[in-house]
Amino acid sequence: MVDKSWLKESATFSRPVIREIQRAAETGIYDIRGFGAKRHIPHFDDLVFLGASMSRYPLEGYRETCDTSVVLGDRFAKKPITIDIPITIAGMSFGALSAQAKEALGRGASKMGTSTTTGDGGMTPEERGQSKYLVYQYLPSRYGMNPEDLRKADAIEVVVGQGAKPGGGGMLLGQKISDRVAGMRNLPKGIDQRSACRHPDWTGPDDLEIKIAELREITDWEKPIYVKVGAARTFYDVTLAIKAGADVVVVDGMQGGTAATQDVFIEHVGIPTLPAVRAAVEALQELDMHRKVQLIVSGGIRSGADVAKALAMGADAVSIGTAALVALGDNNDIYEAEYNKLGTSAGYYDDYQDGQDPAGICTQDPELSQRLDPVAAGRRLANYLNVLTLETQTLARACGKSHVHNLEPEDLAALTIEAAAMAGVPLAGTQWIPGKL
Amino acid sequence: MASFDLADNTVRELNKHLHGAVTDKVTVDNPGGKHSVAVGATDAHQVEINGNVGYYCAGMNAEASVVVNGHAGPGLAENMMSGRVHVTGSASQYCAATAHGGLVVIDGDASSRCGISMKGVDIVVKGSVGHMSAFMAQTGRLVVCGDAGDALGDSIYEAQLYVRGTVESLGADCEEKAMRAEHKQALQDLLDAAGVTGVSVDEFKRYGSARKLYHFNIDNASSY
Ligand SMILES: Cc1cc2nc3c(=O)[nH]c(=O)nc-3n(C[C@H](O)[C@H](O)[C@H](O)COP(=O)(O)O)c2cc1C
C-alpha cells in the first residue's frame, strides 16, 4: 500500500476534475446529473444574526407569539392563499419524481399548512388530492397543461427559468418515460425528452403581460399568479415580472436543485441566492411593491437559519426542493449498498436523471417507487418543516420580532467581505458594506 | 342568444359568460384587436366574432366553436383542448401552439411557428405558413394548402404534416414520408372537415419525424 497522506493533490486538477476529464474522454458526451451546484459559493452561512441586547429586547422563547403566516397573491387575485409557515415546496415534476414522492410532498406540506407545486409534466390526482394548496406550473413545454387542472389549482406559476439552469430547458431521459409519464406528456414512451427553454407563445415582458392577463381571464381572476425566474439579472427580471402583473415573484438561486441538467450549466450559470435576494428586494422597493408583490426565494435552503436570513433580507417566504427530497428519504444511509452498486455513496448521490434512485423518489420504476411510503415520508417532511419553522421563530424572537416578517437587514452582519457586498449588510464588527459608503 | 359589443362591454364580461352555466350562441362585435377574446370556454357555445382579434383569441378553448370573421393576432387557440376555431382571414404567429385537440381552420395564411409544440390538435391552413412551423410538434396533424417556410417540423416528434406547395426547408429530424392510402384518406377527411374544396390529396406531400434524435447520441451532436 502507498501511504497516500504524503501525496500532494493539485488544487487545479483535483481528483474529481481528473475523473471528469477521463469520463469525457471515454464517452464524448457532457455530464448530465441532478442536485444543485456543488462547489463552494457565498451563501447564508456567511451571515449571522445580531440578536437583541441593550438597544433591543428579545421575545420570550416559548410564550410570546411569533407569527409565521404569509399571504400570497393579494395584489390582483380574488382568492389569495394564506400559508401557515413561510416555507413552500418547490415545483418538481411527476416524471422526475415518482407518484409516491409527489403524494408525500403534498401530505407533508398540507400537514404544515403550506403549499406544494406541480412541475414540468402536469398535475397528478395523487398530488392534487393530498395538497391543501397546490401551485400549478405553467412551463414552456406545457406538458399536461389543460384548463381543467388550471382551475383546480390554488395558484399558477409561470416558469421563466430555474436557478440550476437559467436559459435552459428541461430534460427527462428515456429511462424515466414510463407509459404514464409519456401519456401525460403526449410523447412516445422511452425517448429522451427535452423540454423547450422558451415559452412557445410569448417572448419578452410585454407579451408576458398579455399572457398573464389571458391566464387570469381563463381562471376568472381568482388565482394568484407567480412568475419564477432563475437568478441572473435579478434586479431587472424582478422589475419586469412585477410590471407584467405578477402577484408573486419566485427567485431561484444558482444552488437550486434540478432533476437533470448538464453539470456545466448547474455549476456555471446564474448567481447565488444571497445576492439574488438583495437584488430582488431592491427591485420591489424601487417600485414601491415590497410586501405588495410577494417574494419567494429558493436555492440552497437547508435550515431555519437560512429561512430566517432570507426573510430578514426581505423575502416573504422561501421554497425548498432538495431539502424536501432529503427529508422524504433521499441519500439515506440505509441504501448505502445500493448507492455503492451505482458507483456512488449516500450523501453524494446526484443521478436523479437516470431513474434508478434506490430511495424510490427520483424514479418511475414501479418496484423502486414502491419503497417510498407516501404517508411515512409525508410525516418526515412535516417534521422537517416543523423544525425549520421552530428554528426560524427562535431566531426571530431572539431579535425581538413578533412576526417573522419583522426580521430586517439591520438584524444581520456578514462574516466575509463577499457576503457583505452581495447581501448588502455590514461586515461584522464594522459599518462597512462594500460598494456602499 | 347573447351578444357583446366590445366597444361597450368588456372582455371580462364576455369570458365570464362563456364560463357560465348557459350554453348558447354568442355574437361579438367590435373586438377591435383586443386580447384574450373568448378564452377558456368550457362548453359547446357557438361564438361568432365580427372583426379582428388580438393575442390568444379562443385560448384553452374546450368544446366551443369560435368563428372569427377577420384576422387573428398571435397565439390563436393556444392550448385548445377540443372544439373548433375558424378564422376567415389570416392568423399571426404561434397559431394553435401546444393545442391538445379540436380543429383550427385558417382561411388565409398563418405566420411563423404555426402549430409549435402541438399536442394533438388538427390544423388546416388554406394559405401558407411561416418559418419554424410545427417546431417540436408532438402529435396531431397540420395541413398546409399553400407553402411552408424555413425549418418546417424542426425537432418534430410524432405529429404529421401535409403540405401542398413548396417547403422552403425542413428542420432537424424532419423528413418526407410516403403518402399511403390511409394518409390520403386521413387528409381527405381533414380537408372535408375544414371545408376545403378544389384541391386533391394527390397534390400533397407528407412530412414527419425521422426519429433520429429520440435518444442522445454523440454521433448526432451536430444536429442538436
Ligand atoms: C428533482 C427536482 C425536480 C425539479 N423539477 C422542476 C420543475 O419541474 N420545474 C421547476 O420550475 N423547477 C424544478 N426544480 C427546481 C425546484 O423547483 C427549485 O427551484 C429548487 O429545487 C430549489 O433549490 P433547492 O433544491 O436548493 O431547494 C426541480 C428540482 C429538483 C431537485
For residue A3, is it within any domain? no
Domain of A393 in residue numbering reads as 33-423
Give chain B's residues under pLDDT 70. Answer: 218-224
| Closest to A364 (Cα-Cα) out of A194, A233, A177, A141 | A177
Predicted confidence (pLDDT) per residue in A195-231, tens digit: 889 999 999 999 999 999 999 999 999 999 999 999 9
pLDDT of residue B224: 59
pLDDT at A436 exceeding the cut of 90: no
AA identity, residue A184: M
Q: Which residue has the higher pLDDT, A223 or A180?
A: A223
A232 CB near ligand 1 (under 6 Å): no
Q: Which residue has the higher pLDDT, A1 or A387?
A: A387
Is A404:A398 a contact under the CB 8 Å cutoff? no
A230 CB near ligand 1 (under 6 Å): no
Domains of chain B as residue ranges with CATH:
2-194+204-210 (2.160.20.60)
pLDDT at A176 exceeding the cut of 90: no
Indicate which CATH number applies to the domain containing A51.
3.20.20.70
Distance from the B209 Cα atom to the nearest Cα atom in chain A, whole angstroms: 12
Helix H or strand E encompassing A25: helix A15-27
Average pLDDT over residues A347-369: 96
- Compute how many other C-beta atoms are within 10 angstroms of the C-beta atom of residue A82: 12
* Positive or negative torsion for Cα A143, A144, A145, A150: negative
Is A266:A165 a contact under the CB 8 Å cutoff? yes
Is B140:B122 a contact under the CB 8 Å cutoff? yes
Following DSSP, what letter does each residue of B46-108 receive, concatenated? EEEEES-B-TTTTTT--S-EEEEES-B-TTTTTT--SSEEEESS-B-TTTTTT--SSEEEESS
Predicted confidence (pLDDT) per residue in A237-276, tens digit: 999 999 999 999 999 999 999 999 999 999 999 999 999 9
Chain A hits for B75, CB-CB cut-off 8 Å, are 201-202, 214
Q: Ligand 1 center to residue A322 CA distance, Å?
A: 7
Chain A hits for B113, CB-CB cut-off 8 Å, are 200
pLDDT at A104 exceeding the cut of 70: yes
A252 CB near ligand 1 (under 6 Å): yes
Average pLDDT over residues A106-122: 96
Please tell me the distance from the alpha carbon of residue A275 to that of residue A431, in angstroms, as a whole number. 19
For residue A4, is it within any domain? no
Following DSSP, what letter does each residue of B143-168 receive, concatenated? EESS-B-TTBTTT--S-EEEESS-BS
* Positive or negative torsion for Cα A229, A232, A235, A237: negative
Q: How many domains does chain A have?
A: 1
Q: Which atom belonging to ligand 1 lies closest to the Cα atom of A253?
A: 23
Please tell me the distance from the alpha carbon of residue A313 to that of residue A214, in angstroms, as a whole number. 33
For residue A162, is it within any domain? yes
Predicted confidence (pLDDT) per residue in A268-317, tens digit: 999 999 999 999 999 999 999 999 999 999 999 999 999 999 999 999 99
For residue A233, is it within any domain? yes
Q: Ligand 1 center to residue A160 CA distance, Å?
A: 13
Are residues A187 and B79, on separate chains, in Cβ contact within 8 Å? no
Distance from the B207 Cα atom to the nearest Cα atom in chain A, whole angstroms: 18
pLDDT of residue A272: 98
Q: Which atom belonging to ligand 1 lies closest to the Cα atom of A301?
A: 27
Asked if ipTM goes beyond 0.90, one says yes
- Compute how many other C-beta atoms are within 10 angstroms of the C-beta atom of residue A279: 23
For residue A228, is it within any domain? yes
For residue A192, is it within any domain? yes
Chain A hits for B12, CB-CB cut-off 8 Å, are 217, 221
For residue A429, is it within any domain? no
Average pLDDT over residues A147-160: 97
Q: Is A29 part of the contact surface with chain B (CB cutoff 8 Å)? A: yes
Chain B interface mutation, best of A184, A195, A217, A223, highest count of B Cβ atoms under 10 Å: A217
Q: Ligand 1 center to residue B19 CA distance, Å?
A: 34
Please tell me the distance from the alpha carbon of residue A174 to that of residue B186, in angstroms, as a whole number. 30
A141 CB near ligand 1 (under 6 Å): no
For residue A378, is it within any domain? yes
pLDDT of residue A437: 64
